[in-house]
Amino acid sequence: MSALKIFRDLFHYNIEFAIGLILLLVVLTVSVCSFFSPYPPMDVYVVPPDVPPSWEHPLGTTSRGQDVFWQLTFAIRNTLLFGIVVAILSRIISLFVGLISGYKGGWVDRVLMSINDTFVVIPLFPILVLFYFIMRDQMSWALLAVITALLGWAYDARLIRSVAMSLRTREFTRQAVFSGMSTGKIVLQEHLPFVLPIVFSTTMNNINWSIGIEVTLSVLGFTDINTPTIGGMIYWANQHTALVSGVWWWITFPVVLVIMLFIGLFLLAISMNEYIDPRSRLLRLGGQV
């Protein structure tokens, strides 16, 4: 089944997928606008401060003299990019561990799953806060993404392993072994295509999870607050007591946009989960006929 047909079926027959895709496209459009910003993202007091939404400044300005709309374009771009980087890095680790563990079995499976379970029970948030206090000014956006990815792969690796274990007993796997294919080729050429739909679904959830981590840490000031992110915008708004001062737009619009992103990714994830399940897919498609 081609990717285009899958996309068409999801868009036509799954309202959750359509809504999620539209919300995500809105967020992506806002992030693309950052490339056309007339103001550098790090500059302050380039516009009059505390101006409410108007024709000249559609989303108002901040107490730091920054246009909220243009600052928001940089913030959502960096926040979304953070989630994508974390998701890609953690998918690579989870795929390697899950596929190898599920296919090889035996002592390899026991060792990899012991490591996996260790990362499952590690308290993630306190570890990230500890890293911040150790690194301090060296805790950059990229370093936080790498650390988060290294700590956020374990749950999905176990899910991929369960699929790989079922594939190991299939007839085509035995034929591949008898034909002399190496472990790497069997895992990449024979097993990987079967887990890609699951990887796509878990990627959406992982992006949501990592963005939530970044926003939380940034709001608390435990990241590089000078890099524009959604959490960074909320942090500076809190520092200037925006709500108390009546500058509500400084917090409202970043929160609304990141909620749209969360909902969009969540709807894409659950619609893809439903499509992966043949019974749910046939039921929905049959109900639409």
Angle between helical axes of 192-219 and 141-151 (0-180°, round to 10): 130
Show the tokens assigned to 270. Answer: 């659950």
Q: Which pair of structure tokens corresponds to residue 262?
A: 């969360």
Bigger pLDDT: 271 vs 76: 76
pLDDT of 288 above 50 = no
Instruction: Please provide the DSSP assignment of the chain as one string.
Output: --HHHHHHHHHHH-HHHHHHHHHHHHHHHHHHGGGG-SS-TT--SSS-TTPPS-SSSTT-B-TTS-BHHHHHHHHHHHHHHHHHHHHHHHHHHHHHHHHHHHHH-HHHHHHHHHHHHHHHHS-HHHHHHHHHHHHGGG--HHHHHHHHHHHS-HHHHHHHHHHHHHHHTSHHHHHHHHTT--HHHIIIIIIHHHHHHHHHHHHHHHHHHHHHHHHHHHHTT-S-TTS--HHHHHHHHHHTTHHHHT-THHHHHHHHHHHHHHHHHHHHHHHHHHHHSHHHHHHHHHHH-
Q: Which of 17-26, 90-99, 196-205, 279-288 has the lowest mean pLDDT?
A: 279-288
Mean pLDDT of 59-81: 94
> pLDDT of 2-16, one tens digit each?
556 667 777 777 788
The full length of the chain comes to 289
**pLDDT above 70: residue 279:** no
At a CB cut-off of 8 Å and minimum separation 6, what does 161 contact? 97, 98, 99, 101, 102, 109, 113
Q: Which of 58-72, 163-177, 274-288 has the lowest mean pLDDT?
A: 274-288
- Angle formed at CA 230 by CA 66 and CA 24, multiple of 5 degrees: 115
Quick: pLDDT tens for 97-147: 999 998 888 898 899 999 998 888 888 888 888 888 887 777 788 888 999
pTM: 0.87
The pLDDT tens digits for 126-135 are: 888 888 888 7
